[in-house]
Copies of this chain bind each other. A is one copy, B any other.
Amino acid sequence: MSTRVLEIRKGVLNKNDELARALRERLHAAGLLTLNLVSSPGAGKTRFLELTLRTMRERGLRPVALVGDLATDNDATRLAQSGAPVRQITTHSRCHLEAEMVAGHLDGWNLSEYEYLFIENVGNLVCPASYDLGEDVRVALLSVTEGEDKPLKYPTLFNSADIAVITKIDLAEACEFDRAAAHRNLQSIRPGIRIFETSAKTGAGLAEWIDFLIRERAARRGAASRVEA
């Protein structure tokens, strides 16, 4: 790649970082915990998010979601069935979301009415790693059908994640999924990463995941209050 292209890319990234920082402050001021969900296509992000939104609402929580897609609005339609407010970001063949796209799709929402903002990124294990969306927590999803070696093969993305969610755990046996190897590979790329094992089909792991989100939001708001006090 020419130096010129690299410099311009770096410029794009720095502009994104600045926008992401401002966005993060805006979201914190509204009391939101923001999550950026990244994974390969077909890892089950949408189905996992749909169940997360529905279960949260049943528990009286107030989530909202943005979903990035290259072309269709299938995902937004599916997510909206949860009853949570959902908006689609169509990237028109761009391979990742950027902070500007997120900020531009929040207009008209009274953010302080909500508690959790989920951003479903474009399915891609490479490019989204480089773009901060103003999130508090980056969640990398990995399905048992993809193979245990994905963290080693896509280290940049898994290294940038705060949480790993293993999906489709109901298929573990049929896929001869090696759980120990998957955990070992995740820990080698991102030491100390917290791992949830889930199934959107059986609901396994969902309660634990949502309990974690509640605690995480409370802890961050507590920390913010203490800083202000």
Contacts and interface: CB of A to CB of B under 8 A. Distances in A.
A180 interface: no
Contacts of A12: 1, 5
Band of interface residues on A? 35 or more
A143 B40 CA distance: 12
Contact of A42 (B93, B147, B156): B147
Contacts of A42: 40, 42-43, 143, 145-147, 150
B127 A70 contact: no
Interface string A70-104: 11101100000000000000000111000000000
A155 interface: yes
Query: How many copies are assembled?
Result: 2
Contact of A122 (B1, B94, B126, B168): B126
Interface string A167-186: 01001001100000000000
Interface of A: 1-2, 4-5, 8-9, 12, 40-43, 69-72, 74-75, 93-95, 122-127, 143, 145-147, 149-150, 152-156, 168, 171, 174-175
A126 B127 contact: yes
Interface of A, helix, strand, loop or mixed by DSSP: loop
Contacts of A175: 145, 171
A69 B156 contact: no
A92 to B, nearest CB: 10
A153 B8 contact: no
Contacts of A146: 41-42, 145
A93 B156 contact: yes
